[in-house]
Amino acid sequence: MSLIGKEVQPFQAKAFKQGEFVDVSNEDFKGQWSVVCFYPADFSFVCPTELEDLQNNYEALKELGAEVYSVSTDTHFVHKGWHDSSEKIGKIKYTMIGDPSQTISRNFDVLNEEEGLADRGTFVIDPDGVIQTVEVNAGGIGRDADTIINKIKAAQYVRQNPGEVCPAKWEEGNDTLTPSLDLVGKI
pLDDT tens digit sequence for 21-46: 999 999 999 999 999 999 999 999 99
Hey, what amino acid is at 141?
Answer: I
pTM for this predicted structure: 0.94
Give bridge partners of residue 39 from the DSSP assignment. Answer: none
Q: Which of 3, 13, 36, 47 is the catalytic position?
A: 47
Q: Is 37 a catalytic residue?
A: no
What pLDDT score does 180 carry?
A: 81
Phi–psi pair at 141, nearest 5 degrees: -115, 110
What does the alpha-carbon distance between residue 135 and residue 122 come to, in Å, rounded to a whole number?
Answer: 5
Burial, 62: exposed, middle or buried (Cβ in 10 Å; 0-12, 13-18, 19+)?
Answer: middle
